[in-house]
Amino acid sequence: MSRETVVAGRYAKALYEIAEQDQRTVEVEQELQALVQTLHEDHEIEQFILSPNISSAAKWDVIRSGLEGKLSETVISLAKLLIDRGRIAILPELLYSYTKIAGEKLGRVDALVTSVYPLSEQEQATVAAEFGQLIHKKVRIQNNVDKNLLGGIKVRIGDTLYDGSLSGKLERLEKSFRRQAL
């Protein structure tokens, strides 16, 4: 585990404890996602934030003007702390750690569902219910489209991959034939 991952985990744990005290764990997660998306979707903003040649005060002035009134004081304070300590680059890892901590505490997991076409809300709800029963947790779905699957779906929950895709089945069949040929 990298040093940045450990540091991000510590910040995430502290942030979660503060959010839990304020009874705002879900809202803080959403705000953190918005902050990560805002800072990393625009390449110029990301370069500005990560540049070692720009002072922390200048970075903070720009970020503060863009965030005031849009995010809670908790998330804004976190952003300022990360900028002041030169750790703003760990923000995506911090979000990942926060989401994991919140999920564990709330009995929720995130699942990446890969399908040939975008799943409807009803299809996502069905997949979430099926896998929720399987793992005994509430499942949140993020849908990814991959035309190479041919059909079926792949579901990744944490480190576990459930491959129900047609291409995955064909691949397993091919491996089976190779073993039998030996």
Predicted local distance difference test score (pLDDT) of residue 1: 66
CATH architecture of 3-103: Orthogonal Bundle (1.10)
pLDDT over 90 percentage in the chain = 43
Predicted local distance difference test score (pLDDT) of residue 169: 78
Tokens of 17: 């404890």
Q: Note the Cα 15 to chain centre separation in Å.
A: 16
DSSP classification of residue 160:
E
Q: Could you tell me the pTM of the whole model?
A: 0.72
For the chain, 182 residues long, give each residue's pLDDT as a single digit of tens.
688 889 999 999 999 999 999 999 999 999 999 989 888 777 888 888 888 888 888 888 888 887 778 888 899 999 999 988 989 889 999 999 999 899 888 889 889 999 999 999 999 999 999 999 999 999 999 999 998 888 889 999 988 899 888 777 778 888 888 888 76
CA-to-CA dists, residue 75 to 42, 61, 170, angstroms: 20, 15, 47
Predicted local distance difference test score (pLDDT) of residue 94: 94
- For the chain, domain boundaries: 3-103, 108-181
